[in-house]
Amino acid sequence: MLKLPKIIGHRGVAAYAPENTIEGIHTAADMGIEWVELDVKLSKDQIPILFHDEALDRTTNGSGPVAQKTLEELRELECGSWFADSFAGIKIPTLEEALEVLLERRLGLNLEIKPCPGRERETAEVALDLLSQIWDDHDRLLVSSFSLISLQTAQELAQDWQRGLLIGEHWPENWQELIDFIEPSTINVNAGTVTREEVEAVIDQGLHVLAYTVNDPDEARRLLRWGIDGVFSDAPDVVREGLFSVH
C-alpha cells in the first residue's frame, strides 16, 4: 500500500534550494517533508543523474544537451549559483547518491523518469536496476513518467513497484486505455488544467490522484476537496501551514 502524504516536495523543495540536488533533499527533510519528487535522466555514459531539462543551460554553468555529456563532464559543472550565491559550487548528483541521502533522511520518493528523446526505455532500465539494488520499501516509492515507454518498461521490470502516469495540460481522450495498458496506482495531473469531473472519473477507477505543481494553499484546499490525495509543491511549508493552521 502506497503511503502517500498530502504534500510532496517538488524537485526536492524547489522554492528553497536548487532543484534535483542533494541540498534540496536535505532542505526538504529539515522542513519535515515526508516525500520528495525527483527527476532522473542518463548521462552519455549511462549513469543515472538527477536532472530535469534536456539542456544544461537553465540550471548549470554549462550548455547543450545533457545526453551528450559523460558523468565526468557533468561533474565539472556547478548547478547552484543560478538559484542563489549561497549554493554556488554544488554538483549534479547521481541517482545513487540521492538514494543514499533519501534513505538516511527517511524520505519517501516519487522518482520521475524524465528520459532524453530516444532514451525512454534505457533510462527506465538503468534507473530501476539501481533502485532494485538500494531501495526496498514499496510503500514509499512511486515511479512516474509522462513516457508510456518508460512506464511500460517499469511494468515489465518492476511489476511490484507502484507506477504513476503523468498527464499534461491536455486530458487524453484515451485515458481509460492508458490506465488499462500501464496499470498505474496514481494519475499525476496538472493542477492548473484538470477538472473536477476528470479527477472524479479517475477516483471512480480506484486510483490515487496527485496534482502538480501547487504552491497556493487555497488551490491545494480546492483540489483536496475534489478528492485528490496529495499535491506536489515547491513551497510545501506554505501549503502545509495554509492547510493545517487553525484560523
Looking at the chain, list the stretches that DSSP marks H as alpha helix, in order from N- to C-terminal side: 22-30, 71-75, 95-105, 120-134, 148-157, 175-182, 196-204, 217-226, 236-244
238 domain-assigned: yes
In this structure, is residue 2 part of a structural domain? no
User: What pLDDT is recorded for position 247?
Assistant: 52
How many domains does the chain divide into?
1
1 within some domain: no
Question: Could you state, in chain order, the average pLDDT of each consecutive group of 10 residues for the chain (247 residues)?
Answer: 94 98 98 98 98 98 97 98 97 98 98 97 98 94 98 95 97 96 97 97 97 97 97 97 76
218 is a domain residue: yes
CB 70 within 8 A of CB 58: no
Is the residue at 206 inside a domain?
A: yes
Confidence (pLDDT) at 243:
87
Instruction: Please check whether residue 143 lies inside any domain of the structure.
Output: yes
What does the pLDDT read at residue 245? 73
Q: Which amino acid, 99?
A: L
Residue 234 lies in a domain: yes
Task: Match 517538488 to its residue by C-alpha cell.
Answer: 10
Domain ranges, residue 64: 7-244
Q: Are 94 and 42 spatial neighbours (Cβ–Cβ below 8 Å)?
A: no
pLDDT at 1: 84
The catalytic position among 26, 52, 208, 247 is 52
**Distance from the Cα of residue 106 to its chain's centroid:** 17
**Spatial distance between the Cα atoms of 57 and 37, rounded to a whole number of angstroms:** 22
Contact between 118 and 47 under an 8 Å Cβ cutoff? The reply is no
The CATH number of whichever domain residue 229 belongs to comes to: 3.20.20.190
- Mark whether 208 is an active-site residue: no
Global pTM value: 0.97
